[in-house]
Amino acid sequence: MDAAALEHALRARIAGEVRFDRGTRAVYSADASNYRQIPIGVVIPETAEDVIAAVAVCREFGAPRLARGRNRPPCASTDKLNRQGAKKTTRNQTADECS
């Protein structure tokens, strides 16, 4: 998959934030478990339309998607998808439990 093309397509279609920098990817790579998977990129949507557009773009590129709940810290556990689509499920935590 062409990560640069994915980033460009996401930036063109959504109003929210699109982050493909190494720092953001590192922050979002871990949760409260021992499981670590560096994401291809991070999208922070502003609207429901942004979510729909981001999912559509990821589908077009065959990119895996991982949704975090609103106000969830990067360390909160969730379903993780790697580039091959394998899924690892861990429990959700609050921000207080992450520190």
Mean pLDDT estimate for the chain: 77
Among positive and negative, which fits the CA dihedral 64, 59, 28, 67? Answer: negative
Domain assignment of residue 41, given as a range: 3-98
What are the tokens at 99? 């520190």
Q: For the whole model, what pTM was predicted?
A: 0.68
Q: Count structural domains, the chain.
A: 1
**Could you give the CA distance from residue 74 to residue 19 in angstroms, rounded to a whole number?**
14
In this prediction, residues 84-93 reach a mean pLDDT of: 45
CA angle 53, 58, 61 (to 5 degrees): 130
Model confidence at 35, in pLDDT bands (50, 70, 90)? confident
Model confidence at 36, in pLDDT bands (50, 70, 90)? confident
By mean pLDDT, which of 13-17, 20-24, 70-74, 87-91 is the weakest?
87-91
- Angle of helix 3-13 relative to helix 48-61, nearest 10 degrees, comes to 150
Q: Output the domain CATH number for residue 88.
A: 3.30.43
